[in-house]
Structure 1
Amino acid sequence: MSTHFYGEGNIGSAPEYREFTNGNDQPNRLLRLNVYFDNPVPKRDGTFEDRGGFWAPVEIWHRDAEHWVSLYQKGMRVLVEGRTMRDEWEDADENERVTFKIEARRVGILPFRLESATLSLKPTSGDPEPASD
């Protein structure tokens, strides 16, 4: 079972990166974020109350996942688009468990709580060398 998901939340812990061998091909790369998706409701005094927020693991499967592990940080506000997936598993006591995870298509960084940002282009093999003065 899966369904489209679109939500805003905060990364709650350091990202986890894993590689899985894939025969002679490039390994599959996974970046997992633990995100709290909140539901802030404004109150009369101007503050907000969280109603119905939830934690969900967000999985990003991509060849560049290794580079992104240093980009995403605990506390960062993100916008996640993807699909929810039901995940069935057994705990250490062999009890059946069910959780829901999000397989992300896109994870955007929102500018809340950022002190600064530096952007640079990643050079590709076809890019010309910069001219020297």
Structure 2
Amino acid sequence: MVEEIIKRLEKVFPDKLELNFSTPFELVVAVVLSAQERDAKVNEVTKELFKKFNTPQQFANASLEEIEKEISSISFYKKKAEYIKQISQILVEKYGGEVPKSIEELEKLPGIGRKSANMILYNAFGINEGIAV
């Protein structure tokens, strides 16, 4: 009975994140951009964005205006650009350019709450510490 319920739920709620990314850092950027925005729109923007910038170092070295220009079609793009720039600087300075692998460290990053941290941990690293609803 339980197995049948799980099978039915998996059909309705497939275990697939709609955001496109190829590195944990790209997922962090996509998650920040996805707040109050459609995943399809985020994927459209990140397709071009990640051709120009795709590492914390590149975003940290970019001007805020450059980042804003690249994501200007996303809702709340000015604030999201600030978050991405700040996150990039923190990752470079504190984590050697790597995305941390704990809820506590991820939640300290600007614009990343518990739901986002859970999404990043699970989808980037296969670490399941909670449920992102």
Greater Cα radius of gyration, structure 1 or 2: 1
TM-score (structure 2 length as normaliser): 0.23
Structure 1 or 2: more strand by fraction: 1
Higher RCO structure (Cα 8 Å, ≥6 apart): 1
TM-score (structure 1 length as normaliser): 0.23
